[in-house]
C-alpha cells in the first residue's frame, strides 16, 4: 500500500479531487488530505475526511497535530505528494519558497516526488509570472499533468482546464511504480566525439553531454541496467551507471557493439560525421611555406544506422537524437526513415533564446512514425524523465 499526500487548493476544480480520492482508494492506496483555506471555501473538509477515511489537515498552527504528526512528517510519511487542483497562487508560493500556510510549508520542507495538476483560467495560465513559476518547478524535477485545452467554468476556451481524474490517476500509478524499467538493459551515448588531425589537434563539437548523461541517470533511477558510452565531457559521471569513455566515433561504435544485447539504445551523442583520412603521427608544423593546410576527411560510420539495422541483437527500441540549424522536423523525419530507428528526438540548435549546447534546457520534438509530439522548452532532466516514462509505456504496450 502506497501513501499519497493530497494537497487540495482553492479553485473551481477543487471538488474533482473527491473523485481522485475514490480512484486512489479503489487501488488500495492510502490518501491523507491537506486543504488550503481557499479550498475549504469550495468544499467542506468533511467530504475529504469521509472519502479518504483519514483526518484532513488545514492548519499550520495546530499544536495537537504538531505533536502527533507535524508538517514535516506529513511529507516524510508519504510516497508521493499530489496537488489537485493547483491554483496559480499555490504555484507561485511553491516556486518562490513561500511558507505561510500548511500546504506551502509542507512543500518547502518536502523531499518527496510531487505531481501537480494545475487548473486555472487561460489568461492566468498564460501569464508570464505563471509561466516562470511552472518552469522553475519543472527545473526542480516536479512532475506536471495538464492543464488541458478546453472550455473553462468562466466560458473562456484554451489551456487551463485540469487534466481528467483518469489522466491524473494514471500518472500517479507511473510515479509510484518502483522501477518502471526494472529488468531492462539500456545503452546511452553522450557527449561529443573527437577526431584527431595530429597528436595535439582535433575536430570536435560543442556537445556538453548534459542531455545524454541526464538520460543515463534517469534510466538507472527507473531501474534499467544502464551502460553510458561517453565522449570527452567535463561533467560528473552519473552514479550507479557503467561508464565507458571513448574519443572517436570509431571507438564509440566499437563500444556500442560490445555492449549489446540491450533492450533500449539511445544515441544522444553528437558524433562527428567525418574523420581525417590522413591523420599525422607527428604534430603538423607551421612553416613559412604552408599558408594553407588541406585536411582530407572521410565519412565515419553512422552509429545510429549501424545499430538500428542489425539483423542480430537489434535493441527492441532504438532512439536517435537529431540536432539541426534548419529544417529540423523534415530532417528528423528523413533520419527516422533512412536510419531505421524507432524514434527521433529532434532538439533545436537555437530556440530563440539560447543554444541547446551546454544549457540545462532543451527544446524537443519527438518524431515517431507519422506522429510528432512537441515537448516544448524544458530542462534536460525533464526530457530524460519524459523519455523514460514514454519508454516504459512502449514496453507495457508491447507486452
Ligand atoms: C469562484 C472562484 C474560483 C476560482 N477558481 C480558481 C481556479 O480555478 N484556479 C486558480 O488558480 N484560482 C482560482 N481562484 C482564485 C484562488 O481561489 C485564489 O487565488 C486563492 O488565493 C488561492 O488560494 P490557495 O492557492 O491557497 O488555495 C478562484 C477564486 C474564486 C473566488
Instruction: Report the distance separating Cα 258 and Cα 250, nearest Å.
Output: 12
Same fold for the pair 3-176 and 185-282+291-398: yes
Asked whether 127 lines ligand 1 (CB < 6 A), one says no
Per-residue pLDDT of the chain (399 residues; tens, 9 = 90+): 999 999 999 999 999 999 999 999 999 999 999 999 999 999 999 999 999 999 999 998 875 666 666 778 888 889 999 999 999 999 999 999 999 999 999 999 988 889 999 999 999 999 999 999 998 998 787 888 999 998 887 888 889 999 999 999 988 987 887 788 999 999 999 999 999 999 999 999 989 999 999 999 999 888 899 999 999 999 988 877 899 999 999 999 999 999 999 999 999 999 999 999 989 999 999 988 888 989 999 999 999 999 999 999 999 999 999 988 888 888 889 999 999 999 999 987 655 555 667 788 888 889 998 888 988 888 898 899 899 999 999 999 888
- Measured CA to CA, the distance from residue 167 to residue 360 in angstroms comes to 28
Establish whether 154 is a catalytic residue. Answer: yes
Residue 120 Cβ contacting ligand 1 at under 6 Å: yes
Q: Whose CA is closest to atom 26 on ligand 1?
A: 36
Question: Does residue 119 have its Cβ closer than 6 Å to ligand 1?
Answer: yes
pLDDT in tens, 39-92: 999 999 999 999 999 999 999 887 566 666 677 888 888 999 999 999 999 999
* CB of 341 closer than 8 Å to CB of 308: yes
- Catalytic-role residue among 154, 256, 276, 388: 154
- Residue by residue, what is the 3-state secondary structure of 3-49? EEEEEECCCCCCCHHHHHHHHHHHCCCEEEEEECHHHHHHCCHHHHH
Give, as one character, the DSSP assignment of residue 355.
Answer: B
**Ligand 1 within 6 A of 69 CB?**
no
25-38 core/surface letters (b: 16 or more CB in 10 A; e: else): eeeebbbbbbbbeb
Q: Which atom of ligand 1 is nearest to the CA of 153?
A: 8
Give yes or no for a contact between 141 and 385, defined as CB atoms under 8 angstroms apart: yes
Residue 11 Cβ < 6 Å to ligand 1: yes
What is the CATH number that goes with domain 3-176?
3.40.50.1950
Measured in angstroms, how far is the CA atom of residue 124 from the centroid of ligand 1? 10
- Pull the grid cell for residue 43: 468544499
Q: Tell how far the Cα of 205 is from the centroid of ligand 1, in angstroms.
A: 49
Which of 7, 43, 87 has most ligand 1 atoms within 8 Å of its beta carbon, as the pocket-test mutant? 87
Q: Is the CB of 38 under 6 A from ligand 1?
A: yes
pLDDT digits (tens, 9 = 90+) for 375-393: 888 889 889 989 999 999 9
Ligand 1 center to residue 39 CA distance, Å?
A: 8
Ligand 1 atom showing the smallest separation from residue 9 Cα: 27
Instruction: Domain 185-282+291-398: state its class.
Output: alpha beta
Contact call for residues 99 and 75 (beta carbons, < 8 A):
no
Name residue 276's beta-bridge partners: 297
Nearest residue by C-alpha to atom 22 in ligand 1: 10
Q: By C-alpha distance, which of 358, 378, 355, 354 is closest to 366?
A: 378
The residue extents of the domains of the chain are 3-176, 185-282+291-398
pTM (global) more than 0.75: no
Distance 374 CA to ligand 1 centre (A): 29
- For ligand 1, whether the C-beta of 36 sits within 6 Å is yes
Q: Among 33, 38, 127, which is best to mutate for testing ligand 1, by the most ligand atoms less than 8 A from CB?
A: 38
Beta carbon of 133 within 6 Å of any ligand 1 atom: no
Q: Is the CB of 83 under 6 A from ligand 1?
A: no
Q: What is the CA radius of gyration of the chain?
A: 25
Amino acid at each position: 500500500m502506497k501513501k499519497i499526500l493530497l494537497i487540495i487548493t482553492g479553485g473551481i476544480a477543487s471538488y474533482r479531487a473527491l473523485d481522485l480520492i475514490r480512484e486512489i482508494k479503489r487501488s488500495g492506496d492510502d490518501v491523507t488530505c491537506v486543504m488550503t483555506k481557499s479550498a475549504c471555501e469550495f468544499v467542506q473538509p468533511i467530504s475529504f475526511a469521509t472519502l479518504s477515511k483519514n483526518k484532513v489537515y488545514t492548519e499550520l498552527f495546530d499544536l495537537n497535530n504538531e505533536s502527533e504528526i507535524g508538517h514535516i512528517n506529513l511529507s516524510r510519511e508519504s510516497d508521493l505528494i499530489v496537488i489537485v487542483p493547483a491554483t496559480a497562487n499555490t504555484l507561485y508560493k511553491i516556486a518562490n519558497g513561500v511558507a505561510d500556510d500548511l500546504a506551502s510549508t509542507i512543500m518547502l520542507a518536502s523531499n518527496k516526488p510531487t505531481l501537480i495538476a494545475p487548473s486555472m483560467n487561460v489568461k492566468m495560465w498564460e501569464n508570464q509570472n505563471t509561466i516562470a513559476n511552472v518552469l522553475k518547478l519543472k527545473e526542480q524535477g516536479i512532475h506536471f499533468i495538464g492543464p488541458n485545452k478546453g472550455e473553462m467554468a468562466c466560458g473562456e476556451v484554451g489551456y487551463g482546464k485540469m487534466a481528467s481524474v483518469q489522466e491524473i490517476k494514471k500518472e500517479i500509478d507511473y510515479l509510484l511504480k518502483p522501477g518502471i524499467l526494472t529488468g531492462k538493459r539500456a545503452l546511452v551515448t553522450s557527449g561529443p566525439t573527437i577526431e584527431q588531425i595530429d597528436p595535439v589537434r582535433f575536430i570536435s563539437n560543442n556537445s556538453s553531454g548534459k542531455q545524454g548523461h541526464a538520460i543515463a541517470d534517469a534510466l538507472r533511477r527507473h531501474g534499467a541496467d544502464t551502460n553510458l558510452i561517453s565522449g570527452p565531457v567535463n561533467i560528473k559521471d552519473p552514479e550507479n551507471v557503467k561508464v565507458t569513455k571513448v574519443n572517436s566515433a570509431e571507438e564509440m561504435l566499437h563500444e556500442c557493439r560490445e555492449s549489446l544485447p540491450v533492450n533500449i539504445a539511445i544515441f544522444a551523442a553528437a558524433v562527428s560525421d567525418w574523420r581525417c583520412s590522413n591523420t599525422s603521427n607527428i604534430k603538423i608544423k607551421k612553416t613559412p611555406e604552408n599558408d594553407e593546410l588541406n585536411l582530407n576527411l572521410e565519412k565515419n560510420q553512422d552509429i545510429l544506422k549501424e545499430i538500428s539495422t542489425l539483423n542480430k541483437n537489434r535493441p527492441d527500441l532504438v532512439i536517435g537524437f537529431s540536432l539541426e540549424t534548419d529544417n529540423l522536423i523534415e530532417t528528423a523525419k528523413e533520419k527516422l526513415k533512412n536510419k531505421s530507428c524507432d524514434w527521433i528526438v529532434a532538439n533545436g540548435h537555437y530556440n530563440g533564446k539560447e543554444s541547446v549546447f551546454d544549457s540545462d534546457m532543451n527544446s524537443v520534438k519527438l518524431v515517431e512514425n507519422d506522429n510528432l509530439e512537441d515537448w516544448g522548452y524544458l530542462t534536460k532532466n525533464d526530457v530524460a524523465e519524459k523519455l523514460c516514462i514514454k519508454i516504459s509505456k512502449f514496453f507495457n504496450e508491447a507486452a
